[in-house]
Structure 1
Amino acid sequence: MKLAIPDLISPSYFPAIAAVELGCLAREGLDVSLEMVAPVERSYAMLRGGELDIVGGSAHSALAAFPDWRGVRLLCAQSRGMYWFLVMRAALGIARGDLAALRGRRIGAAPFVGLALRHLLRGLGLDPEANDIGIVPIPGTERTNFGVAAARALEAGTIDGFWANGMGTEIALRRGIGTLVLDARRDAVAAPWFLSTMPVMAVTDEFARARPEAAAAIVRATTAAQALLREDPARATAIGRKLFPAEEAEMIAELVRRDAPFYTPGLPEGLAAGLDGLGFDLGLQTPGSTAAVALGG
């Protein structure tokens, strides 16, 4: 089987990576290879087309290929809650939580990841269109590791900030080129949108119905990988040294340690409502549809 994630050099989908690299899927009797397919909407399109068996990506992005949640099944969470960071160029002097200072700025984000930021800002009364906040793609990142590329773009001055994963954030902060303005998981201002999306393990509805034992095994393997990483985040370093460049490999264990409290496989109550809130707000769902039909193994 083929498992795709949309970003590799990142903590965002590390439980999926670990499920392969720590042998959790193999111990469940599943022969699964890992590959990066970006952006996330391409991953879901390939899942729908039968070119992939599993996608480990953002939950709301399934709507890119499965209108109104028809035909997709979100089996479990890789970790809980919206999981991106808003980082702005340090020279701008924007304090943490000062979202009003985003007016007139250009923020780099992958397309469907940027939709989550748009939804959050609109909920806070800071509609990007009305406030001249540009949420823009970063050229050349369509099929690469977005967070790392975003940090480079910030350093080059081609964007004012980015909305991306923990690895890009850590690079920007350590190099002094960026400041953290919003942590979607941990900052109270973002709490009402915590369940708008999260990283999940997804298969087609047909896969879940035809192979329930394999679907259940994917959940067990993800749960086992989360437990191993919670028990000893340093396990991530060996995986990083195998798959990442040297600098990022030495960062990944600390990023996993920070995320470990969110490593809960169950799809929480309120997720369907959160996904629907995003879907309806952004015109991705039609009236009467609900993410509830796609939840669970």
Structure 2
Amino acid sequence: MRLVVPDLVSNSYFPAIAAVELGFMREEGLDVELDLLFPVTDAVAALRDGAIDFLAGSAHAPVYADPGWQDVQLLGALARNMYWFLVVRPDLDVERTTLARITNVRIGAAPGPDLGLRRLLAAEGLDIAAAGVTIEPVRGADAGNVSFGVTAAQALADGRIDAFWANGMGAEVAVRRGVGRVVVDARRDASPASLFTFPALMATRRTIRDEPDATAAAVRGIARAQSELRADPGLATDVGRALFPAMEAELIADVVARDVGFYEQAISPEAVSSLVEFTRASGLTSGDAGYDDVVSPAAHKLWA
């Protein structure tokens, strides 16, 4: 079976990456291949159409391909809370408390994740178009086996953008190189934006129905990865050295160590309510959805 992530060299979907690379899914009885498919909007369409079996991506991604939550359901969280950072060039005059006053700023953001930033800025009172703020993909981020965040950090260093909205790895690289500073850490933000979305494992209702053993093995493999990484974040280095470029391989354990407190598989009713409201406010769907529409009942019975 195939499990896809929309960004490989990152911490965003790391419990899923580790569950495959460290053999936890295999030990649960699931023979799975890990692939990269960017952006997440394309990946969820591939999931809906049966080209892949599992997707580790943004929890709001299903409604890009399935606005009524008829085909795709979440199997569990990879971690709690929205997980992107707003990183700006060091000389840019903007802070978390002054987001509503930014003007004429070029922000790099991937399709799908960009929606979290747009809603966050709107909630702060910023009229993006009137302020001359552009939020667009970063050139080159869709080429081959690359990381959006690391590519965005390089674009910031080159002066091609003024800021980017991306994962913790991209933020770490930019800060350590001295080419960027963090203005928003969405996961730890005190505003309602922290609950807009979260990283999750998902599958189609068809796979959940027809492959119950494989689905259960995937859920258990993720739980094992979360547990092992909480106990020893240093395991992330082994995964990084197998899959990442050299610099990012040596950084990933530090990034994961900061995240492990959020490594919980259970999805709360509050998280689903906020997720549904986020998708509605963003115009991705006009309907309402209940907890069991969004989250597979077969999966949440396995979390305990």
TM-score (norm 2): 0.93
Partner of 2:80: 80
Partner of 1:166: 168
**CA distance in 1 between partners of 2:142 and 2:101 (Å):** 28
Partner of 1:63: 63
Query: How many matched pairs?
Result: 295
- Superimposed CA distance per residue, residues 97-125 of structure 1 (whole angstroms, 9 cap, x where no aligned partner): 43135322111000111011111221222
TM-aligned CA distance change 1:95 to 1:121, over 3 Å:
closer
Partner of 1:208: 208
Contact kept, 8 Å, 1:81 with 1:185, in 2: the verdict is yes
Listed as ranges, the matches of 1:1-297 within 5 Å are 1-143=1-143, 144-188=146-190, 191-289=191-289, 292-296=292-296, 297=299
**Post-superposition shift, 1:224?**
0.5
Contact kept, 8 Å, 1:99 with 1:181, in 2: the verdict is no
- Superimposed CA distance per residue, residues 261-287 of structure 1 (whole angstroms, 9 cap, x where no aligned partner): 000000122122212222111211023
Q: Secondary structure at the match of 1:285?
A: coil
The amino acid across from 1:79 in the alignment is: A
- Identity across the alignment (%): 48
**CA distance in 1 between partners of 2:256 and 2:34 (Å):** 19
The amino acid across from 1:178 in the alignment is: G
- Superimposed CA distance per residue, residues 21-73 of structure 1 (whole angstroms, 9 cap, x where no aligned partner): 11110111000010111111111111111110000000111112112222001
TM-score (norm 1): 0.95
CA-based RMSD = 1.5
**CA distance in 2 between partners of 1:233 and 1:30 (Å):** 24
Gaps in structure 1 of 5+ consecutive residues: none
Q: Secondary structure at the match of 1:43?
A: helix
Gaps in structure 2 of 5+ consecutive residues: 300-304
Contact kept, 8 Å, 1:96 with 1:180, in 2: the verdict is no
**Post-superposition shift, 1:140?**
2.0
